Structure 1
Amino acid sequence: MNLTSPFSISIVVITILAFLGLPIGLAMISGSILYLYMAGLDMGTAAEQFLNGMYSNYVILAVPLFILAAEIMNSGSMTERLLRFCNVLVGRFRGGLAQVNIVQSIIFAGMSGSAIADAAGSGRMMQNMMTREGRYTPSYAAALTAVTAVVGPIIPPSIPLVIYALVSDASIGYLFLAGVVPGLLMSFMQMGQVAWTARRNNFPVEEAVPMRDIPLITWRALPALFMPILLLGCIYTGITTPTEAAALAAFYALVISIVFYRSLTFREGYNALLVSTKTSASIGMLIAGSLVFNYVVTVENIPDSLRVILTAWDLTPVQFLLLVNVILLLLGCVLEGTAILLIIVPVFIPTAQALGIDMVHFGVMVVVNIMLGLVTPPYGLLLFIMTNISGAPIKDIIRDCLPFLFWMVVCLGLITFIPDLVLWLPRMAGYAG
């Protein structure tokens, strides 16, 4: 590659701006406009790509709506009631509170679609519960909360899968279904690791919930538990599109918090709206930057050039998937997941299609891989969030994450090399892939 070409210079500018602290979305827009200027192209194309991409993709609306639903749940008492219900299910076992952490992530995953919302909301409560009276060390509680939050964007609904659908044109409905088995498999592996560690380290056994209290706890959690059933039922019966279902999820969370639980004050509702707006704006700017930069990548014919190179290597589909996994795992250590989805993954899609790799299987594999980056040093966004919440040194949290990371990589391997684990449920629903 010519290091003085407009494309090379734009990459250097984007990298420098990002390292200087400019948001990656703005860095991509700046570098792309510089490329258009140096290449003698109309710089107004940047605005055209931005406007056409943002306003013609109806699916993008699902992202802020899912974020809003998660923030409303965290502001109200839905999360607290779900935690009590999870304690009924697994709290009585050794290390039961740690198992509760995993189960609540499975349930919360069916509502928010965001790992950060899981960690910052229910994760904060779990951190306080697990470290109360010295039951668990702050670093172990933080590590467990971080790795369980990873499941959130794998089990539907999933914001990363929505973004992948945006760049790949794969069906969101089938992508959501494809994430169920991998997400549950990862959670069961985490539960197995907790059970083994609990016996080895003699974790505490929580006081069993009296039988007479179980019906009331279940009844109080029922409206919240009904949310993923309503959400996914509307999508798969065709009553709503995924974007409409996201709006329904936000509305349902609002009604439940105000009418049934009466736990959402005006101030809390305003704060939930403010936080979700800031988060959505940040993601929106990243999407906008990627749309402009992807135009530059297309002009430079990068995807086809990569496809020609990989074809010359004569890779089999399995070898290609292994190569993609290695690249994404390495990139996940230093880049934010949404940026990888929007910038790097589209480059691989033409080659994957040429090799006959199913786009739904490829999407779930990519998202699982990128989610591992949330708990992989040195970037590991969830590691930083849990360090802030717990006050534990990040090196201790990383140490306690490592056993879980091993099993999560094993899960990624199974998902990669056994496509039926991913595609079984979509095929049961009529997927022809």
Structure 2
Amino acid sequence: MTFASPFSIAIVAMTALALLGLPIGHAMIAGSIVYLLLAGLDMGTAAEQLLNGMMSNYIILAVPLFILAAELMNIGSMTERLLRFCDALVGRFRGGLAQVNVLQSIIFAGMSGSAIADAAGTGKMMQNMMTAGGKYRPAYAAALTAATAVIGPIIPPSIPMILYALVSDASIGYLFLGGVLPGLLMAGAQMAIVAIGARRGNFPVEPPTPLRDLPRVTFAAFPTLMMPVVLLGGIYSGATTPTEAAAVAAAYALAISALLYRSVSFRDFYRSMLDSARTAASVGMLIAGALVFNYVVTVENIPEAIKTWLTGLDLSVIGFLILVNLLLLVLGCLLEGTTILLVVVPVLIPTAKALGIDLVHFGVMVVVNIMLGLITPPYGLLLFVMTRIAAVPIRDIVREVLPFLFAMVAALAVITFVPEIVLWLPRQLGYQG
């Protein structure tokens, strides 16, 4: 490949269009068409790859359905009842509200599958609760909410894992199971940082919920807490596919919010459908662009070339995993996570297979890396989300989020070098990898 090759020119065109403000999905489609033109190939192949990829991959349908489920939860009172339940459990300890923030993300993770949905869904409420009366610094509250939202796509369900399954052919069900213990490990690291900060900063202690009120609070939140059970129970019992389970999750969220809690107006429902459609369309264009560009990458034989290059380095399994971690952490500072999953990760998978690395373990490690990119400056999308929600300068949030980021990188190292943390639970349910 030379600087004047069709592939090089296509990359330059794609990068230039993205820098000029064109959405990355559109830029990938345009760059791919440039490649097909210069290479003398049929430009209609771009449309063929786009349509075939989007229409034949039934799994992609799960993405907008999980987005809709998260939106429907947010317009009802499900999130509020969840926060009251979490406060009843851990609010009584020093720094209790901060621990509530972590706990609600663990539970919310079993419902939305999206870090952005987690931050947007409970972020504003947690920000108001933590900063009311000057209890916590606004920047600290915003940083903690951004950090805890990272857990969302690691504990199932997970939209990034669905996308990884799309490019790797790994089992979604086993990927979901593989994310449970790593997600809890990440949450434990966050809780440890909160506990240390609570002692050093003398964080406030909230009035404890009387034990006699705990059954009432639990009963009020019980339908919300059952959502992960309904969702994952359907998948692992074989009653539903992951895509069907996403539809069940959306229907369940609507039924609970509208019929049981009676907290949804028609206007709220319409707005949630509209917001879900916009988000799903944005993600869909990104997937479509990646499908077309991946065809170009395959024609250029890039995955095999990289596999040959990496094999020439004579890397061990550990060396390769370290290299992938470093690569993804750096890319996470600059690129959006979905782009990394759909464009960069497929190039790495052949080498992972050649080295005998389990694709479920590799997938969970990749997703954790990409989620850390959401809170890593300068791009860190969650940092920008919380900047808007909390009205706090991003530099202040970055300073407060660093201890959580370092703790989660340490957890990532454990996940990388101890595969059983990922594979133990899938193997209990029949995984042979």
Equivalent positions of 1:142-153 (< 5 A) are 142-153=142-153
Distance in structure 1 (CA, Å) of the matches to 2:244 and 2:358: 26
Q: How far apart are residue 212 of structure 1 and its match?
A: 2.5
Structure 1 residue 216 displacement after superposition: 1.2
Q: Match of 1:237?
A: 237
For 1:167, give the aligned amino acid.
V
Q: How is 1:113-128 mapped onto 2 (pairs within 5 angstroms)?
A: 113-128=113-128
Q: Report 1:82-97 matches (<5 A).
A: 82-97=82-97
Q: Quick check: 1:375 aligned with 2:380?
A: no
Structure 1: which 4+ aligned runs deviate by more than 4 Å? none
- 1:130 maps to amino acid: M
2:157 aligns to what SS in structure 1? coil
Q: Distance in 2 between matches of 1:63 and 1:411?
A: 27
Partner deviation per Cα, 1:375-408 (whole Å, 9 max, x = no partner): 0000000000000000111111000000000010
Q: CA deviation at 1:173?
A: 0.1
1:146-185 equivalent positions in 2, closer than 5 A:
146-185=146-185
Counterpart CA distance in 2 for 1:132 and 1:20 is 41
Q: Read off the aligned partner of 1:105 and give its amino acid letter.
A: S
1:207 is matched with 207
Structure 2 SS opposite 1:121: helix
Counterpart of 1:354 in structure 2 is 354
TM-score, length basis structure 1: 1.00
Which whole-Å CA distance do the structure 2 matches of 1:118 and 1:367 have between them? 16
* Equivalent residue number for residue 256 of structure 2: 256
Distance in 1, matches of 2:378 and 2:19, equals 14
Residues 1:218 and 2:218 aligned together: yes
Aligned equivalent of 1:14: 14
Identity percentage over the alignment? Answer: 71
CA separation in 1, counterparts of 2:270 and 2:104? 26
Q: Deviations over 1:234-288 (max 9, x none)?
A: 1001000000000000000000001110001111111111111000000000000
Give the aligned CA root-mean-square deviation in angstroms: 0.5
Deviation (angstroms), 1:123:
1.2
Alignment of 1:334 with 2:312, yes or no, is no
Q: What pairs up with 1:28-427 in 2 under 5 angstroms? A: 28-427=28-427
Q: How far apart, CA to CA, are the structure 2 residues paired with 1:151 and 1:140?
A: 18
Provide the rounded CA distance (Å) in 2 between the counterparts of 1:164 and 1:212.
45
Counterpart Cα distance in 1 of 2:129 and 2:292? 45
Q: Secondary structure at the match of 1:184?
A: helix
Cα distance between partner residues in 2 of 1:75 and 1:27: 34
The offset of 1:210, in angstroms, is: 1.8
Letter paired with 2:82: L
Q: 1:37: Cα distance to partner?
A: 0.4
Partners of 1:270 and 1:376 lie apart in 2 by: 34
SS of aligned partner of 1:286 = helix
Q: Residue type matched to 2:371 in 1?
A: M
Amino acid at match of 1:11: I
Superposed displacement of residue 215, structure 1: 1.4
- Superposition deviation, residue 214 in structure 1: 1.4
**Amino acid in the other structure paired with 2:136:** Y
Q: Match for 1:255: what amino acid?
A: A
Q: Deviations over 1:77-133 (max 9, x none)?
A: 000000000001100000000000000000000000000000001111100100000
Structure 1 counterpart SS, 2:374: helix
Unaligned segments of structure 2, at least 5 residues: none
AA aligned to 1:274 is: L
Match of 2:432 in 1: 432
For 1:148-184, what per-residue CA distance to the aligned partner results, in whole angstroms no more than 9, with x for missing partners?
0000000000000000000000000000000000000
What CA distance in whole angstroms lies between the structure 2 residues aligned with 1:318 and 1:430?
26
Q: Distance in 2 between matches of 1:284 and 1:106?
A: 27
Distance 1:305 1:326 in 2: 20
Amino acid at match of 1:282: S
Count of residues paired in the alignment: 433
Letter of the 2:140 partner, please give it.
Y
Q: How big is each residue's C-alpha offset from its partner over 1:349-368, in whole Å with a ceiling of 9 and x where there is no partner?
A: 00100110000000000000
Report the Cα offset of residue 211 of structure 1.
2.2
Spell out, residue by residue over 1:192-240, the C-alpha distance to the aligned partner (whole angstroms, 9 max, x if none).
Answer: 1101100110000001112232111111100000000111011001000
The offset of 1:26, in angstroms, is 0.1
Task: Pick which of 212-221 and 291-300 moved more.
Answer: 212-221
> What is the one-letter code of the residue matched to 1:304?
E
- In 2, distance between residues paired with 1:269 and 1:215? 31
Query: For residue 3 of structure 1, what is the aligned residue in structure 2?
Result: 3
Question: Matched residues in 2 for 1:54 and 1:363: separation?
Answer: 22
Query: For residues 41 and 318 of structure 1, what CA distance do their matches in structure 2 show?
Result: 40
Measure the CA separation in 1 of the matches of 2:144 and 2:26: 34
